[in-house]
Chain A
Amino acid sequence: MHYAPAPLHIPDGFLNLVVSLTFWALTIIAVGIAISKTNKALGEKQVPLMGIMAAFIFAAQMLNFPVAGGTSGHFLGGALAAIVLGPWAAILVMTAVIAVQGLLFQDGGLLVMGANIFNMGILTAMIGFGLYRMVSASANKTLKLAVAGVGAWISTVAAALLTSLQLWISGTSSLQIVVPAMLGVHVLIGIGEALVTVAALAFIMQARPDLLEAETVAEKGGRSWIAAGVIMSLAAVLLSPLASGDPDGLERVAEDFGFLQAGLEAPYQILPDYTIPFLGETALSTIVAGIVGALVVLGLMVVIGGMLKKRNA
């Protein structure tokens, strides 16, 4: 009901385990820091403010505006959230939004949720806030709005680019097709995002300028965000034409570094083909491997059980 799936949410099955777990690890680190940072800044007000803001992003994604030929522009909100709430709070807010979209509406998978949160929450916060932070102290409103718009646009394009690269490394799509398709669509979607972000920000500047004062913004995130934002933006801007104009070149580079192979070969196989290395490929080896597998599962169950019991007590 009233829910339109957004095109950047990757479902389960599209990313291989290595890519999924790598991005889960990055996301867990970022969210962990975000929790402690916002807790320090907001205290017990953290939960209600972040919760309502997450509901705001969720609801704002229903705001659409007719573009042409029956299609309409939608709003993702990651960059706006980062500019108004600060990057750490925005990461938490987007994490909650993407978690509920994946859990409740199956828009985006569970195993790949780390990648989804990174693409749409963390990367957009870095770029959106990082670029805005450069000019946040300036008195020139037009400049601030322009930079915010550019940040919103680049963050949308960068999220699309990273999504395509993840799909490619996972062996789901070929680079020659996915990059031009994704970038082509999101370069346009990004313009809509930028326009809505600028207009919303102008509105907030008028109505509640206290939320956007230079000192308030500085409190929300230090100057090191500028570096993160600029580096990520540059990477996106430089990599996009390379990836769409010369995909074969990028593929060659990836092969040279061997990381394409790593992605496809799945180094998660601790027991390759269910054989124990030193026993060779015999029936005994398979049986032993099966027993080892069963023991691992049993051990996991005992550990999980212990954790649950502790919580119950």
Chain B
Amino acid sequence: MRVLVCLKQVREPESLFELKDGRVVWPPPDRFRMGSPDDFALEEALRLKDAGLTTELAVVTVGPPGAEAILRRALGMGADRAMHLLAPEGARAAVVAGAIAAWARDEEFDLILAGVMSEDARQGLVGPFLAERLGLATVTGVSQLSLPEDGLLLVERSLEGGRRQALELPLPALVTIASSAHTPRYPSLSNLLKAKKADLPTEAAGEPEEPADGPELVGAAWPARRRAGLCLEGDARQKAEHLLALLRERALL
């Protein structure tokens, strides 16, 4: 079985961006990492590989130069092959899905995994868009995945209020992962060293087939605070003292 995992490079969440005229500006240095839950999707794929169920485990990302760092990390974790499709940071979901579809169409993957949504934009569009383009059976927001012998993929997910749904679908399929019981593993040192030297193939992302007149981002603003948002000052001890005083004042402690 040939498996593909789609990964996205995201800014470290602690990177403090600024807003200038409604646009996000990142102060240097640029700090990136593999987004979550993409890392959970990769871990699920690696477990299929560990179980001897894969003939190949490939990873792909659509992003600017530099985004291949997460591909090297994925190789370090145990992926067999990587592909970097070049596109500007923040490319729209239709563009990302179009780029992956154009490349993956001839690869004939049996199973494609991705995070249910990217860690930063949280739109949840690339997976379903890609499935529609490739004509794959698809389920989103899964937290358990298994492959019994009958050629069907079994998945489970949580619905609103905690209801659980167990679903089956035939391969080839695309499944997006919300989270899972399996903590993403660390890369092994020997794999990382190999991955560092590996020559990663790069292609320019193809033009999307769909008209690109999707929703147009016209600006961004800081959200309104919905409560007081008193920010405690000082060192950890002073903050803890202040918090305890506030809780006692309100008879909460």
State yes or no: do A and B come from one complex. Answer: no
Q: Which residues does A use to contact B, with CB under 8 Å? A: none
Q: Which residues of B does A touch, CB under 8 Å? A: none
